[in-house]
Structure 1
Amino acid sequence: MTKSGENAGHGRIKGVLFDKDGTLFDYHGTWGPILSEVAAALAGERISLVPEMLASIGYRAETGRFEAGSIAAAGDTFALADAWRAILGIRDREGLVARLDGYFAELGPERSIPVTDLRAYFRAMKGRGLTLGIATNDVAASAAGTILRFGISDYIDFAAGYDSGHGAKPGPGMALAFCAASGLAPADIAVVGDNMHDLEMGRGAGAGLLVGVLTGTSAAADLAPLADHVIADITLLPALLDQSKSR
């Protein structure tokens, strides 16, 4: 799906900033099991609380999926911790955040299910002369571990998590930091993500191209209000960039 928008098709994209979960990795296949396991670990003997914990962050039992824009889909660890503190009766917010980030840094790289062969994909994207980055509302340690596990360190020029000092999405900080690190103007970058928070980050930073993908929690209709293009997955991005150049 393509939208004739202010940013669409100008053909000068020099860098691409990708969201991580739901964009590079299948969201439901990766994070459904992880969040269920972490909720059970925190609940301990109060295992009956797990359904309520998952529902509080956007899980819908009737569909087996997390809702678009929910805490699980778009929030950071602080938002998740606040939702679960209320249910578990935990007062120590910082302690719970640290515990959650520890789980995610361990389980994220180990359990992530890529949407394609990421090493081959990023090698090809780098071969186009593009500057490449990853911006996630996950903890930075999880992003770093995932980059290492999938062998894409040589191709990634920038990576940031919610705790990297640039702020969390939907704020523009991570996109602006990518531009600062790469020397690119915001108008020269594309932001690719599965959630409105990703696109809002890109719009706030003034990114030249906003691309939504359908490998996460959002439907095309969810992304259409902000996205210049909505594609099935990242494997279609090279053709989209070629199409933009030809206009």
Structure 2
Amino acid sequence: MSGRSSSILLSSSIRGWGKLREASLRRIRPTLAVRDEQVRTFVSKSTKDDHVAGVWSPSAAIDHSPPPPAIAKAEESLKNASLVIFDKDGTLICFHSMWVPWALSTAERIEEASNLKESEIAKEVYRLLGFCPIEKKVRPGLLAEATMGEIRERLVHLLVEHGLESDKAIQVVDECVQDCDTTSSNTLKQIGNLKHMFEELRAHNVKIAVCTADSRRGTLGALRGLGLEQYIDIIVCGDDAGTQPKPSPHNALAICKAMGVEPADAFMVGDTLADMGMGRSAKLGGTIGVLSGVAKEVELSPMADHVVVDVGEALPILLKRRNPAGGAVRLS
């Protein structure tokens, strides 16, 4: 079943940007500070009672040293996943090559269109997105975790705070905030050998889902550009009708229901706390954090059953298989 047909189960209609024109700024979603506090609260209250304890150390995977006893015990108790839910950016696709150019060009367009150069609005846009223009890195925050709808709403709010009328702010954001370029090989880069990984999963009758905060247009453009859409059973995007942002369990549970898989037989693989939070709150069978995106090991470890360097090292865990030498099986 193709991603295009299966996604109808959760409605592939894109929420109209026109809704923002009809809504007052009083109804703009909670600020990122509140959203971050919700994630932190969820982390502090979360326990590993419903999951197998243990974190797979990336350094152990690289030097092929044996895993700690907790990991060995975890592998003995785990069975193959029936469904794997992958995040997209930072997990399957290089986040920074895709979104750094987007952040730079978006801030530049907003600064020019808003005539707020003297207010250094570009710096404020970077701060809001969680982007460092000096290091050219995206940090955990709005751009890494929020939907495009949320990003647009927050940018409108920012411009209003800097003196623009609401109608003008909406117009500027409407004109300046565009989807990522998924046509250039300079920006669209996959992490590891994804076709190999997907073929291995399908050969073991494991269903594949992608759940992303990105728009459906941008998501399909990226997956088709990499020739991956055919492997994916269901795709859920941030602007699909009826979806809820991570770390809500809603999307994960809806995917499991659509695929006919019990949550306990599904795994979540992602690069952010929001990804891990969704997996935990949905009571999935396991969560795997990857270090190829925006979060660090120390940030992911409290919420992830396993932490690996990149998605290539997740396959042995998903298929309950380890290299006889003791290290993780990598996909070159």
In structure 2, the partner of 1:86 is 157
The CA distance in 2 between the partners of 1:163 and 1:109, in whole Å, is 21
1:209 aligns with 2:286: yes
The CA distance in 2 between the partners of 1:78 and 1:13, in whole Å, is 32
Task: Quote the offset at 1:166 in angstroms.
Answer: 2.0
In structure 2, the partner of 1:176 is 253
DSSP 3-state at the match of 1:198: helix
DSSP 3-state at the match of 1:107: coil
Task: Quote the offset at 1:128 in angstroms.
Answer: 2.4
Change over 3 Å in CA distance of 1:155–1:98 after alignment to 2: farther
Larger Rg computed on CA atoms: 2
In structure 1, the partner of 2:181 is 107
Look up the equivalent residue of 1:50 and give its one-letter code: A
The CA distance in 1 between the partners of 2:143 and 2:215, in whole Å, is 13
CA contact (8 A) 2:290 2:308 kept: yes
- Give a deviation string over 1:95-127, Cα, whole Å, max 9, x none: 6776577x21x5246432211233333223222
Return the match for 1:139 from 212, 215, 227. 215
DSSP 3-state at the match of 2:231: coil
Change over 3 Å in CA distance of 1:209–1:96 after alignment to 2: farther
CA contact (8 A) 1:118 1:150 kept: no
The answer for unaligned runs of 5 or more in structure 2 is 1-54, 57-67, 324-332
The CA distance in 2 between the partners of 1:146 and 1:229, in whole Å, is 27
Correspondence list, 1:23-172, <5 A: 23-44=91-112, 46=115, 48-68=120-140, 70-89=141-160, 91-92=166-167, 103-104=178-179, 107-108=181-182, 110=184, 111-164=187-240, 165-172=242-249
In structure 1, the partner of 2:79 is 11
- Give a deviation string over 1:2-41, Cα, whole Å, max 9, x none: 3959xx5421411100000110111122211112112222
The CA distance in 2 between the partners of 1:94 and 1:16, in whole Å, is 38
Change over 3 Å in CA distance of 1:99–1:22 after alignment to 2: farther
DSSP 3-state at the match of 2:106: helix
CA RMSD in angstroms comes to 2.7
Task: Quote the offset at 1:76 in angstroms.
Answer: 1.5
Work out the percentage of aligned pairs sharing the same amino acid: 26
TM-score (norm 1): 0.86
- Give a deviation string over 1:33-62, Cα, whole Å, max 9, x none: 112112222322545422221112212345
The CA distance in 2 between the partners of 1:97 and 1:240, in whole Å, is 42
CA contact (8 A) 1:11 1:245 kept: no
Aligned length: 242
DSSP 3-state at the match of 2:245: coil
The answer for unaligned runs of 5 or more in structure 1 is none
CA contact (8 A) 2:149 2:239 kept: no
DSSP 3-state at the match of 2:294: coil
Change over 3 Å in CA distance of 1:78–1:153 after alignment to 2: closer
TM-score (norm 2): 0.66
The CA distance in 2 between the partners of 1:168 and 1:88, in whole Å, is 23
